Structure 1
Amino acid sequence: MATDLSKIQTLLVDADLNTRRILRAMLARMGMDKVTEHANLTDAAGSPATIDLVILDADQAEGAALRWIHAIRHGLTTLNPFVGAIVMTWNPTQQMMIRFAGSGADDILVKPYSPKQVQDRLVNLIENRKKFVVTSDYIGPDRRRSPREGQVVQLIDVPNPLRLKCTGEFDRVNIHELTAHAAQVIDSEKVIRHGFQVAFLVEFALPGLSVHPPEKRAMDHALRAAHVLEDLERRLPPGELRLEATTHIRRMENLLGILKTRGALPADEVEALRREAHALMGLTSRVDDPEKRMNEVLAAVVGYRTRLDQLTLAKTTEAAASAGGAGA
């Protein structure tokens, strides 16, 4: 390996002491001796922002490690949100791989692994790290094989502390400025995505909220908007946009609070929820044609509802086939 790995600060989290010893020895042979290790996420949670690489076991505590990576990427921990992240697992099931893909981690190691596999992951992370993408619920490497037709997704260059340390550039740049700039770009994208997502959730829920009693699926989707609103407000820049958007956010939070407490909304308040969602999306979308953006929301709702209906039909068909087989 042509690069110097000696300055990389690594955080290793695995409940198994032997695994930590083996991996630490592998890293040491590559010149990586600045390793802090913990047996659990609780002890690792307060790790400093100077960490460049996180390697952690993804099998513990029902996905807690992957949720932690997700939190890191969303700026909710003490770590640099652009830290290199490699997860390890003994059992790469389909469910595990879906969780991994949604966490924002850079790569995965399947146990048992060889020193070469570890080195290959590091080299790839240093030399070929993917640019980041942002959706309403994801920040991390762009893993799309091909973008959806008509979909425009901004690819974001984020600082790579591993590469900067290995190439000797770290001391010649201001990592705090680089990190702050990338975070600002991500916040800007998140605001746009969140505005769209809030409108989507409300539009999807409207038919089910308009009946008595409201449909559970509609309630669940509408109430999900509260978490999106919270993160949206956190990422709004100071200024006029923040002042205007916060007004709509507060009105929506009030309506969603009533929905959660009473289990229903009067028809006029359902319509008010819709108006506020539309107004918020109009503010945050930053496009000249809000109507076009709203049509995109409606198309997304139709597509999502169709997929849910297809999934329900498939489950019903499968259950009927199983019942028929059992009775034969």
Structure 2
Amino acid sequence: MPDVDFRPVQVMIVDKDSNTRRLLRGILSRVGIDKITDFPNTTDVPAALLASPPDLLFIDADAAEPEGLRFVQNLRHAQQPHNPFLCIIAMTWQPTQPLMMRFTASGADDLMVKPFSAKQVQDRLTNLIDGRKGFVVTADYIGPDRRRQPREGIQIPLFNVPNSLRLKVTGLFDKARINDAVADALEAINVQKVVRGGFQLAFLADFAAPGASAGGDKMAADHLLRIGPVLDDLMRRLRPDSDLRPTLETYATTIRATLEAFKAAPDKPAGGMPALLAAAIGIAAATSRRSNIGVVEQEVRGAVTSYRNRLAEIAQAKAAPAAAAAPAGAPAEKEVEARG
């Protein structure tokens, strides 16, 4: 790490445990950080983020439902007025698999397991200053790149987002320049979010279409209902003066009409699915600036096929232990049905 001065750094701590807040304050003060605010929950945090924007946020990942990680995810997806790129370290007593999955999806930079030492905190600071990962953007994720290896055939760009923590400790911080950098990063991420959102719309529609048209398919219904929030986010992020807006508004009207009809009678087969699917594919093609809708449709269909195959593999893996535990000589379920 280069020569650093932690005195200009502002830190926020959100944790229900007063001992954790006190411990962190002591550790941070020993490295020279004294601009620290702390809260027992996230209730007052949005106002505090505006009044005194922090460079680093420590947040409890064990809060109910989980309040802390959901707050992080919402913060990363915010367009204004907060800086969604501040460094974030989540904290937990028990890194269970469900919690790790929520942490991974939240967009936080790092995770510390309690009780932690001063060295662990200092190591996290060093990583964020010297080796913070670039951000990736998908339809439902904004945050540091956690991929060990990028998926074959899928090109997701990396974004070097503003890091006010590094700028302050190295004496390079300028408020006007950081505000411009945040605005530029938000614009680039919005463009990518619109592209990824368009593909996600088409993916959800293609996956849901067969089951929703037939009716009675809960998984298809769940995927169909996810289209609404993705569409709303896409349209919210689209610039008001975008040349795509008239076309996308037309497609969006078709999609929303089909969704509203389905919500009114969720137990019945969904009508209008061909029109919804065509509109979703149209949005995917328009947002990716490609005129060949057939190629876009093939890409979507390929992604859906891969997803269905993964679901089948998961179901098969879950069924294997039950089959192995069946009494010796007992006929398989399909054999019983055939004989019945």
TM-score range (shorter-chain normalised) is over 0.9
> Where do residues 305-324 of structure 1 align in structure 2 (5 Å cutoff)?
305-322=308-325, 324=327
Aligned to 1:261: 264
Q: Which moved more, 1:258-267 or 1:98-107?
A: 258-267
Whole-angstrom distance in 2 between the partners of 1:70 and 1:266: 32
- Maintained 8 Å contact 2:202/2:280: yes
Unaligned 5+ segments in structure 2 are 331-340
Whole-angstrom distance in 1 between the partners of 2:15 and 2:169: 25
Aligned to 1:200: 203
Residues 77, 111 of structure 1: CA spacing in aligned structure 2 closer, same or farther, 3 A cutoff? farther
Compute the displacement of 1:265 (Å). Answer: 5.1
Whole-angstrom distance in 1 between the partners of 2:79 and 2:61: 19
Aligned length: 324
Secondary structure in structure 2 of the residue aligned to 1:31: coil
- Aligned residues: percent identity? 47
Aligned to 2:7: 6
Compute the displacement of 1:188 (Å). Answer: 0.4
Secondary structure in structure 2 of the residue aligned to 1:109: strand
> Where do residues 104-253 of structure 1 align in structure 2 (5 Å cutoff)?
104-171=107-174, 174-211=177-214, 213-239=215-241, 240-253=243-256
- What is the TM-score of this pair, normalised by structure 2? 0.90
- Maintained 8 Å contact 1:48/1:79: yes
Aligned to 1:60: 63
Q: Deviations over 1:70-118 (max 9, x none)?
A: 1111016753100100011111112222211111101111111111110
Q: Which of 82, 85, 92 is 2:85 aligned to?
A: 82
Q: Deviations over 1:180-232 (max 9, x none)?
A: 11001000000010100000001001110221x34111111111000100110
Residues 12, 324 of structure 1: CA spacing in aligned structure 2 closer, same or farther, 3 A cutoff? farther
Q: Does 1:279 align with 2:282?
A: yes
Q: Deviations over 1:16-48 (max 9, x none)?
A: 111111110100111111111001122323322
Q: Deviations over 1:132-174 (max 9, x none)?
A: 1001110011111111112211111111010111112112752
Aligned to 1:43: 44
Unaligned 5+ segments in structure 1 are none
Whole-angstrom distance in 2 between the partners of 1:172 and 1:46: 19
Please tell me the residue identity of whatever aligns with 1:126.
I
Q: Does 1:301 align with 2:325?
A: no
Secondary structure in structure 1 of the residue aligned to 2:26: helix
- What is the TM-score of this pair, normalised by structure 1? 0.93
Whole-angstrom distance in 2 between the partners of 1:278 and 1:152: 19
Whole-angstrom distance in 2 between the partners of 1:322 and 1:161: 56
